[in-house]
């Protein structure tokens, strides 16, 4: 039996603790989402899981994402055209760098964002429940292919 990453183990524990079953298909889906560093879409995960679990449907992947949302184990990165991507490795709001050409998404490490959130809450009286901050541009690979 394959070993699970600590993140997958944590999610499995959370799901079991809330009374959910861990089927082989669900575990494969969890692994694809949680062990990815590319913020995959449902379709990407489905394509990766399908060869090893041919009876898995796209609906099963969507249901797994819905379940992960329910237990707070996923951060959804929504885009206007409906092609959402998901971050299961870091399921809390955090900034991203998004390439407009190849659509890669990278996590941005901004320690000052927590401080800024606190300042905004104090100055406005808001109880901030979440945030979304994305930076758009061209990744280094796409910049290399751009004409000068």
Structural tokens at position 7: 């993140």
Q: Say whether both 74 and 33 belong to one domain.
A: yes
Cβ count within 10 A of residue 42: 19
What is the pLDDT at residue 1?
A: 53
d(CA 93, CA 29): 22
Residue 30: CATH number of its domain: 1.10.10.10
What is the pLDDT at residue 146?
A: 78
What is the pLDDT at residue 82?
A: 63
What is the pLDDT at residue 46?
A: 97
Residue 100: CATH number of its domain: 3.30.1490.190
Query: Which residue segment(s) compose the domain that 6 sits in?
Result: 1-90
Spans of the chain below 70 pLDDT:
1-2, 80-82, 148
List, as own/partner pairs, every contact residues 74-78 make where C-beta atoms lie below 8 angstroms and the sequence separation is at least 24, other chains included.
Answer: 74/33, 77/39, 77/105, 77/132, 77/134
């Amino acid at each position: 039996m394959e070993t699970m990453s600590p993140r997958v183990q944590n999610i499995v524990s959370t799901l079991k603790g809330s009374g959910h079953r861990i089927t082989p298909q669900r575990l494969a889906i969890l692994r694809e989402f949680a062990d990815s560093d590319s913020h995959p879409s449902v379709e990407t995960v489905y394509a990766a899981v399908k060869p090893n679990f041919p009876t898995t449907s796209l609906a099963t992947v969507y249901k797994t994402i819905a379940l992960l949302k329910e237990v707070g184990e996923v951060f959804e990165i929504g885009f206007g055209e409906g092609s959402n991507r998901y971050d299961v490795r870091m399921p809390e709001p955090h900034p991203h760098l998004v390439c407009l050409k190849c659509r890669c998404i990278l996590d941005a490490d901004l320690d000052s964002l927590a401080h800024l959130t606190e300042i905004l809450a104090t100055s406005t009286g808001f109880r901030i429940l979440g945030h979304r901050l994305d930076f758009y541009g061209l990744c280094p690979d796409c910049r290399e292919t751009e004409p000068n």
